[in-house]
Structure 1
Amino acid sequence: MNKILIVVLIILGLALIAYNVTLVNFEAPLEGNSIIALIGIVASLCAIVLLLIYSTSKKIEKKIEE
């Protein structure tokens, strides 16, 4: 994957987190649409972590080849 694509995907993940935070009802976070928003936040965080792991592994692979 291209480095620019990884950065764009991370930014999209952060945007999804910001949007889902606005949907959470903090008085009852585990009821109704709030639980769906929390699942979206966790899924976005997982995607960001996976992209960061992928980016780090590519950097390590590049150093090993040199």
Structure 2
Amino acid sequence: MKIFTNILVFLASALVIFNITQLDFNNLFGGDNAVAFIGIAASCCAILILLIFRMSKKIEDKMNDKL
């Protein structure tokens, strides 16, 4: 499961980098930049959710070891 979450975090990070390259820095609040901003926000949320999932699995493993 750890390898799978690592792969997903890597893919989400790659999407953040890709969407940053799609931004038009001369006109940040116009044009098609909204799509890139939404992609960046969604990828960051995915990374956060995956890290929370990984921490919850570690806590679950520690709780099972105590029983």
| Structure of greater Rg | 2
Query: Which structure 2 residue ranges, 5 or more long, are not aligned?
Result: none
- Which amino acid is 1:55 matched to? R
Q: How does 1:22-61 map to 2 (within 5 A)?
A: 22-61=21-60
Aligned length: 65
Deviations 1:9-64 (A, max 9, x none): 00000000000000101122121211110110000000000000000000001001
Structure 1: segments with no counterpart, 5+ residues? none
- What is the Cα-based RMSD across aligned positions, in Å? 0.7
Determine the C-alpha separation between the residues in 2 that align with 1:49 and 1:9: 11
Sequence identity of aligned pairs in percent? 43
Given the two structures, how large is their TM-score scaled by the length of structure 1? 0.93
- Report SS of the residue matched to 2:10: helix
Higher RCO (CA-CA < 8 Å; seq separation 6+): 2
4+ long deviations beyond 2 Å: none
